Structures are given as structure tokens and as C-alpha cells.
Amino acid sequence: MLLGPALAVSAILFSLGVAGVLLRRNAIIIFMCVELMLNAANLAFVALAQQLGPDGQVIVFFVMAVAAAEAAVGLAIVLAIYRHKQTLDIKDINLLRG
């Protein structure tokens, strides 16, 4: 029975993703930490799907599709920001700060 350990690993990976978002200032690395969080959620879905039927795996399929769309749009935004500011450090990207 791997449900409990899998959920525990999922919790640790999700927290690592959150800590990474808080720790880093490089926009691309923050994106990668978001991907890490999405993968932790996927692990929880798959672990529960093992016993609750295939619906959880279908949700993982959708999460992957949304993650792909998010990565494409997000990296395009990163490219546009870099072209505009010549940096990806989010402390220098404060155009919307009042």
C-alpha cells in the first residue's frame, strides 16, 4: 500500500516548490518551481487514482495539458520582459508597483 507514502512525498515536493518560489528571484526558476508544484499535485492524483478508479489519471492528463499551455505563454512573457528590461530578476520588474 503506497497511498500514504506517495501523499507524503507529494506534500514534500509541493512545499519544496513553494519554498523555491519564495527563495529565488529569477523568473525562469520561479516558473520551474511552479512546474514542481504541479507535479506534486499530479503525484497525489495518481496515488489516489490507484484505488479510486481512472478518473484521477484523466485529471493528470488535463493538468499536463494546462501546464504545457502555461509554460508556452509564461515563457513568451519572460522573453518579452527580457527584451524590454534586459534582466529576469523580479526585483527589477516592478512596473505595476504603485
Partner 1 sequence: MTQVAFWLFAVLAVLGGLMCITRRSPVASALWLVETLFSLAAIFVLLDAQFIAALQVMVYAGAIMVLFLFVIMLLNLGRERATDMRGWAGRLVALALGLLLVVELWVLVGSPLAGQIQLPAGSMSRASQEQGVVGVISDSLFRTYLVPFEVTSMLLVAAIVGAVVLAKRRL
Does 41 sit near partner 1 (CB under 8 A)?
no
CB 17 within 8 A of CB 36: yes
Rounded to 5°, the CA angle 17-15-30 comes to: 20
Minimum gap (Å) between residue 42 Cβ and partner 1: 7
Minimum gap (Å) between residue 81 Cβ and partner 1: 10
How far apart (Å, rounded) are the C-alpha atoms in residues 62 and 60? 5
Does 85 sit near partner 1 (CB under 8 A)?
no
How far apart (Å, rounded) are the C-alpha atoms in residues 15 and 12? 5
Nearer Cβ to partner 1 (4/98): 4
Does 33 sit near partner 1 (CB under 8 A)?
yes
How far apart (Å, rounded) are the C-alpha atoms in residues 62 and 66? 6
Minimum gap (Å) between residue 96 Cβ and partner 1: 17
Chain-centroid distance of CA 48 in Å reads 20
Binding site for partner 1 (CB under 8 A): 1-20, 22-26, 28-29, 31-33, 35-36, 39, 42-43, 46-47, 49-55, 57-58, 60-62, 64-73, 75-80, 82-83, 88-89
